[in-house]
Amino acid sequence: MLTYVARRLGIGVLVFVAVTGISYVLYHVRGADSIAYRLLGADARPEEVEIKVHALGLDRSLPEQYAGWFGGLFRGDLGESFVSNQDVTAIMSTRVPVTLSLIAATLVLTLVFSVVLGVWAATRGGVVDRVIQVVSVIVSAVPGYWLALVLVIVFALNLGLFPATGFIPITETFGGWLSTIFLPSIAIALGAIFSLAVWVRSSIIDMRRQDFVRTLRSRGLSPRSIMYRHVLRNAAPSIVQMLGLQIIALLGGAIIVERIFALPGIGQMSLDAGLAGDIPVVLGGVAFFVVVIVIINIAVDLINGFLNPKVRIS
Amino acid sequence: MSADADITGRAIAAEPIVRRGVFRALLRNPLTAASLVVLALFAVIAIIQPWILPYPPNEVNLRLTNAAPFGSDYLLGGDNYGRDILSRLIASTRGAFQAAAVLSVVAVVIGTTAGLIAGYYGRVFDSVASWLFSAIMAVPAVIILISLYTLLGVSTTVAMAVFGFLVSPSMFWMVRTLTRNVRNELYVDAARVAGLPDRRIVGRHVLIAIRAPVILMIAGLAGAGIAVQAGLEFLGLGQAGVPSWGAMLTDAFGNIYVAPEQLIWPAVALGLVTSAFTLISIGVRDTLEGTYVKPSTRARRREIEALLGSAAAERTLGGTADAATATTATTSTSTSQPLLAIDGLRVAYESGGSLTTVVDDVSFRVEKGEVVGVVGESGSGKTQTVFATLGLLPEEAIVARGSIRLDGRELLGLPERDLLEIRGHRMAYVPQEPLSNLDPSFTVGSQLVHGIRAQSRATKKEARDLALAMLDRVGIADPLRVYRRYPHQISGGMAQRVLIAGAVACTPSLLLADEPTTALDVTIQAEVLDLLRDLQTETGMGVLIVTHNFGVVADLCDRVVVMRSGRIVEEGRVGDVFTRPQHEYTRMLLGSVLDNAAPREASARRKAAHA
């Protein structure tokens, strides 16, 4: 089990290095001068550009720069903003909680509702099953930010039930936090909830056809105990796997939804920094999302390793 | 799973459709057909848009700023800058389809090429590509695209090509898996042995197998591409001056307090196109796989009534028996009641509006303490009879007629609640395939305890002691060790002992054993049969044992029932049937028992050939 964890972590680090490294190269591909011009304006004088390039350390070789950036990671240092000279970690510190709130809320909503709906559709069949399948088609057919726009219009503008914009940290008031995070995470999660519900439904139906389920029924176990203790337990690995894939796919939508609800998160930060040519801040955003994706993947592998006795024991 | 238990409409339905051509089947699905029409319409608009634009999309008419729809020269109104919304909607179609095209072409070319090579040749390329594509999956695609636009100022086409590359893993994994499956087919092996070049094999067999799934994936990707491109444009990352649905959404969103209806038009256009692509993708998938929607109990009952005539349908729906009152045809008046009495049982499966009968007019009895064998080849309905008795038929099964009484109590039509008290306690079941009948996620001990506690008021401790005692009783040398093991850690023979222990733990009066030795090694078969015989003499339970092996019958049974194609052809005391088989089929089955047959002439013939 320990070597299993270590190997997953090793792969995660490799992926992190590869993605950030390639991004690093990509962002510098047009040369140091062009970056400086972008920051100073097109009419900057060549001397100014030269000074700027030197000041930002862009005159060093690319591997040297990347090594410097990567080394900084171990000291919790992501460099300084090209624009404001603030520490990137300082800029990110207020924004990470926003995006993490969004991801966490989306994850919880997706998991809870998809399992409930999936179990419901599998056990009840008929109309319930049909409705869930049709709704799943409809909501998975439109992008999350599209739903976000609809939700803003209906619930925030017309009904005034939730604030349309802004963020209240969970450390201030829980209710406030929930009210600001609820609509955005629903908008992101809705498509995933239904497509995962359909997945849960078919995993349950497949699992219920397994021989051991019939044998357990022959022992007089109640349908409830079979469903929750045995069927869901065995369907869990494939559900967790799918949940991980769904959440990763939703991260892109989260960036756009942050914009719609004016949530000051990592997505907004990366977008603004990109428009300003602020490479260190954009790289901070890339690093954050890669870490999130790697963590989700490792978590999925570990949970499934734990759920599967064949892996757990060896 | 035994062959006769596997009659589901799903598996049968999918095959011929694939052969008949997916496209025609697709058109029969109204949603898919409608989606194709919508897409065709938008595609035509995208092509002819320069000629049908009412106004140049960027022309500003300040008089018509935020003009209401249907009230001015601008049919759908004017936007915040006084531009015609309809013209901008139309002009945006081209960009959307271009994005979809670029993205799908890149993803398909990269994903299928790599997937084909990795799946067909495997080896080093496979490992390297697999690693690479799983790494690409960990790239935060949207943020990379954002930085490409903002830091590098790339064009939409380049950005969509990059996005195509970033989503190509999904295509790669699918093609790789499909190719590997085809590659391992026997007919492909045959083609290779016959010396057909790889190029021909891939063209003939592999491409045909992956065609439809690739179309499915393209439709999904195209929809996602349009959605993501519009999303990026919504963030303000499109090319300035080029109208797009995303940019229109941004304009309208900024204007949301003034003229919220402006959001509707681009949202509808975008929603229509992305959902049309998604619906086509779902339509292809459903056509390929066939969807099974479990009908509600009431709908199902109505359907069955229509098929059987209302009189019979009142009785029971497969596994989910309802509280229909069982109309017991004849309440036994004889003094000694049989343990199990099956009368006129008919089990059928519904598929495509017609019924296939798998058990027809089956009647027999098992007396207390009697061992009855049910013999027949696979598909003769013997397993279905056992499942019907247990009330564990699959959901598609219909018990059309008959009566099954345990100690005089009618089981058909009994509510599930009441059946729970009978199963495991009064009658128990030993399956055929030992390993697939143990829950892989639980230790042997914990699933035995679950079963025991479902039947008795035993505490955890008592249930555990009983489970250990039972493991010891069925001849397991180290009960505590096996108790703690998972199913994958024990052998098939041991698993079958565990299942027998679980079945007899609550001292049932009837044991239903479905080919309990078929899946086991020959040496272990005899041990398991000995065990069953010992348990039977010890507890005096009645046993109904299903088998295709007359050796088992001779070894264990008092009486034998011979079944063929769902009907009983012969029934009698074992000795009588063995010595004077009445039916041709019985004679044939007896003749196929190798133990009693004379050695065949194969060796003689071989000798002749040598001479």
**Are residues A127 and A82 located together in one domain of the fold?**
no
Question: Mutate which of B128, B143, B234, B457 to test chain A, going by most A C-beta atoms within 10 A?
Answer: B143
Q: Residue B118: name the closest of B208, B180, B169 by CA.
A: B180
Q: What is the mean pLDDT of residues A216-242?
A: 90
**Are residues A37 and A112 located together in one domain of the fold?**
no
Residue B114 has a pLDDT of: 93
Residue A49 has a pLDDT of: 85
**Are residues A63 and A110 located together in one domain of the fold?**
no
Asked if the structure places residue A271 within a domain, the reply is: no
Q: Which of A264, A292, A309 is the last residue of a domain?
A: A264
Residue B306 has a pLDDT of: 66
**Are residues A33 and A55 located together in one domain of the fold?**
yes
Residues 6+ apart with CB under 8 A from A16: A287, A290, A291, A294
The domain made up of B22-36+93-289 is a member of CATH 1.10.3720.10: yes
Q: What is the mean pLDDT of residues A159-180?
A: 79
Give pTM, 2 decimals. Answer: 0.80
**Are residues A59 and A199 located together in one domain of the fold?**
no
Query: Within an 8 Å CB–CB cutoff, is residue A28 touching chain B?
Result: no
Asked if the structure places residue A302 within a domain, the reply is: no
Better pLDDT: A218 or B333: A218
Helices and strands, number each (H, E), in chain B: 25, 10
Give the number of domains in chain A: 2
Query: Within an 8 Å CB–CB cutoff, is residue A139 touching chain B?
Result: no
Residue B303 has a pLDDT of: 65
Burial of A275 (0-12, 13-18, 19+ CB in 10 A): middle
Rounded to the nearest angstrom, the gap between the alpha carbon of residue B423 and the centroid of all alpha carbons in its chain is: 27
Residue B333 has a pLDDT of: 44
Residue A260 has a pLDDT of: 85
Residue B373 has a pLDDT of: 92
Q: Which residues of chain B have pLDDT under 70?
A: 1-23, 25, 288-336, 351-353, 593-611
Please tell me the distance from the alpha carbon of residue B437 to that of residue B518, in angstroms, as a whole number.
14
User: What ipTM was predicted for this assembly?
Assistant: 0.83
Among the partner-chain residues B249, B274, B299, the one whose CB lies closest to the CB of A142 is: B274
Contact B559, B370 (CB under 8 A): yes
Residue B10 has a pLDDT of: 30
Asked if the structure places residue A281 within a domain, the reply is: no
Residue B304 has a pLDDT of: 64
Rounded to the nearest angstrom, the gap between the alpha carbon of residue B507 and the centroid of all alpha carbons in its chain is: 35
Q: How far, in Å, are A118, A140, A166, A189, B492 from residue A106 at the CA level?
A: 17, 15, 17, 5, 44
Q: Find the residue in B nearest to A14 (Cα).
A: B135
Nearest CA of chain B to the CA of A172: how many Å? 30
Average pLDDT across chain A, whole number = 86
Query: Within an 8 Å CB–CB cutoff, is residue A253 touching chain B?
Result: yes
**Are residues A173 and A231 located together in one domain of the fold?**
yes
Residue A79 has a pLDDT of: 87
> Could B423 and A229 be called an inter-chain contact, meaning their C-beta atoms sit closer than 8 Å?
no
| Amino acid in the structure at residue B398 | I
Burial of B11 (0-12, 13-18, 19+ CB in 10 A): exposed
C-alpha triplet B162, B118, B140: angle, nearest 5°: 30
Asked if the structure places residue A295 within a domain, the reply is: no
Query: Within an 8 Å CB–CB cutoff, is residue A312 touching chain B?
Result: no
**Are residues A226 and A191 located together in one domain of the fold?**
yes
Query: Within an 8 Å CB–CB cutoff, is residue A212 touching chain B?
Result: yes
Q: CATH code at A103?
A: 1.10.3720.10
Asked if the structure places residue A306 within a domain, the reply is: no
Domain that holds residue A73: 2-90
Q: What is the mean pLDDT of residues A17-30?
A: 87
Residue B72 has a pLDDT of: 77
A contact residues 255-294, partner B, Cβ 8 Å cutoff: 255-256, 259-260, 267, 270-271, 274-275, 277, 279, 282, 285-286, 289-290, 292-294
Residue B231 has a pLDDT of: 87
Contact B172, B111 (CB under 8 A): yes
Q: How far, in Å, are B23, B240, B347 from residue B62 at the CA level?
A: 49, 20, 77
